[in-house]
Amino acid sequence: MISEPFRPTKLTLVFLLLSAMMILMGGAAVAPALPLISEAFPDAPEYLISLIVTLPSLAIGVTGIFIGLLSDRIGKIKILAASIVIFTIAGTSGYFLNSIYAILIGRFILGVGIAGITCATSSLIPCYYEGITRAKVLGYQAAAMGFGVLILEISGGLLSGISWRAAFLIYLIGIFILAGVLLTMKEPALGKFARDTKSSDEKFPTSSFMVIYISMFLGSMLFFLMPIKFPYLIAHMDAARLLGENTALISGLFLGIMGCSASIIGLFYGRLAWRFTRYTILTSVYLFFAIGYCSLGIANSLIIVLIGAICVGLANGILMPTVLIWIAAITPKQFLGWASGGFSVSLNVGQFASTLAIVPVIAIASTTGNIFLIFGLVSCVIALPYVYLVIKGKYTIDEMTSLPSKIEY
């Protein structure tokens, strides 16, 4: 008797999105506590403290491709479940550890877990959904990532008000998500060709993926400047002392608003994708980064900070589904794990590179505000090649199927 292929339910979608929620800010959930951690380890240089946020990204960059290949071989659900377990245990380890180096080891292991979550969720969506439904779900995924920023950063800020250690307890959310994954998801049936890649004549579109991965790398590098330096910007603003000297909650609130704006634009992304070419959309991404960071660079009030945070959130909320839809459109299903692994690597190497890119900028920038201003100008420069491609009019967004399909869960 042949069993019917698994059909995702509404709860499947919910827990798929909750899993995706942990991708973007899983490593940066404790960002609001960075100034407090600096005080707890006064002998540790600032770059070492910043590795608490960025070291998971390095781990993902090192392991992402291999985990993607492994998910193609042993199954995406197994990888997702195991990765959430690693995420929860390694994430909470910082609550118990007393050495900055032990904490950093735990953060590296956390990155391995996030790599698996990224690969699994990014490849499960194209397997579970097709056509316009896929585009909408990928928009929802971007919204979930933004909502994750809102939940994790505000929660991290609240827990930081208790102690810097308490901020690490936010990773206990993985227990709830793991239970939902095991109860609502099954391995997708991809057909015989997906199990025997040698029998397929389809090739991996390497040249297209180079453009995709470079776009993701640059956008990720720009975006991750926020959790690394934004808490320090807020810590030096007199206007941010609404709740006293501990500005972690205010920092977490603004980072949460940034995530909320990404969520809102993600919910409406399907409409944008039908109306604009992908390079027009990518141009808007880097222009939003430019406006956001220039605003933060000159900010002298919380209103201007709010505008900057919203613009950065909009940039990331547009970038993620654009890249994911592009990947889903051109990737043969037998290569989805590989492609998702590459996405994971470009996303997270970009995050880690953000720390390295800041080093020479600090040498010429006297304040945190100037750092943001310089990166705003860099964003304008990055937008120029995409503007050129828009003007040339060589590309159209063709990743949707020509026949519309209603949303089915």
* pLDDT, tens digit, 9 for 90 and up, residues 9-27: 889 988 988 888 877 666 6
Q: For residue 50, what pLDDT is reported?
A: 78
Q: For residue 143, what pLDDT is reported?
A: 74
Q: How large is the average pLDDT for residues 120-138?
A: 80
> Which stretch of 113-122, 346-355, 391-400 has the lowest confidence by average pLDDT?
391-400
Q: Are 403 and 131 in contact (CB under 8 A)?
A: yes
Q: For residue 149, what pLDDT is reported?
A: 67
| Residue whose tokens read 């990224």 | 118
Q: How large is the average pLDDT for residues 306-311?
A: 92
| Residue whose tokens read 């980064």 | 289
DSSP 255-279: HHHHHHHHHHHHHTHHHHHHHS-HH
> Which stretch of 135-139, 270-274, 403-407 has the lowest confidence by average pLDDT?
403-407
Between CA 134 and CA 116 the distance in angstroms is 21
Percent of the chain with pLDDT over 70: 85
Between CA 43 and CA 257 the distance in angstroms is 33
Task: Give yes or no for residue 406 having a pLDDT over 60.
Answer: no
- Angle between the N-to-C axes of helices 248-267 and 302-330, in degrees from 0 to 180, rounded to the nearest 10: 40
Strand ranges (DSSP E) for 154-204? none
Residues 6+ apart with CB under 8 A from 179: none
Q: Are 305 and 254 in contact (CB under 8 A)?
A: yes
> Which stretch of 112-116, 152-156, 280-284 has the lowest confidence by average pLDDT?
152-156
Q: For residue 93, what pLDDT is reported?
A: 93
Task: Give yes or no for residue 382 having a pLDDT over 90.
Answer: yes
Q: For residue 377, what pLDDT is reported?
A: 94
Q: Which of 98-107, 147-156, 218-227, 361-370 has the highest mean pLDDT?
A: 98-107
DSSP H or E run through 289 = helix 278-298
Tokens of 300: 């002298």
Between CA 255 and CA 167 the distance in angstroms is 15
Angle of CA points 216, 60, 269, to nearest 5°: 35
407 phi, psi to nearest 5 deg: -75, 125
> Quick one: which of 378, 359, 279, 288 has its CA closest to 323?
279
205 phi, psi to nearest 5 deg: -75, 80
Q: Considering Cα of 195, then 196, then 199, then 203, what sign does the dihedral take?
A: positive
b/e burial code for range 42-61 (CB count within 10 A of at least 16 → b): eebeeeebbbbbbbbbbbbb
b/e burial code for range 184-204 (CB count within 10 A of at least 16 → b): bbeebebeeebeeeeeeeeee
364 phi, psi to nearest 5 deg: -110, -10
Task: Give yes or no for residue 123 having a pLDDT over 90.
Answer: no
Task: Give yes or no for residue 308 having a pLDDT over 90.
Answer: yes
Strand ranges (DSSP E) for 165-243? none
Q: For residue 384, what pLDDT is reported?
A: 93
Q: Which of 33-37, 114-118, 159-163, 185-189 has the highest mean pLDDT?
A: 114-118
Task: Give yes or no for residue 173 having a pLDDT over 60.
Answer: yes
> Which domains are delineated in the chain?
10-392 (1.20.1250.20)
- Region at 131 (left for phi over 0; alpha for psi -120 to 50; beta for the rest): left
Q: Which amino acid is at 13?
A: L
> Quick one: which of 279, 231, 278 has its CA closest to 256?
231
Q: For residue 239, what pLDDT is reported?
A: 63
Q: Are 82 and 67 in contact (CB under 8 A)?
A: no
Percent of the chain with pLDDT over 90: 21
Between CA 195 and CA 192 the distance in angstroms is 5
Q: How large is the average pLDDT for residues 336-361?
A: 79
CA dihedral 385, 386, 388, 392 (to 10 degrees): 140
Q: How large is the average pLDDT for residues 57-84?
A: 86
Between CA 193 and CA 185 the distance in angstroms is 22
Residues 6+ apart with CB under 8 A from 3: none
Between CA 107 and CA 109 the distance in angstroms is 5
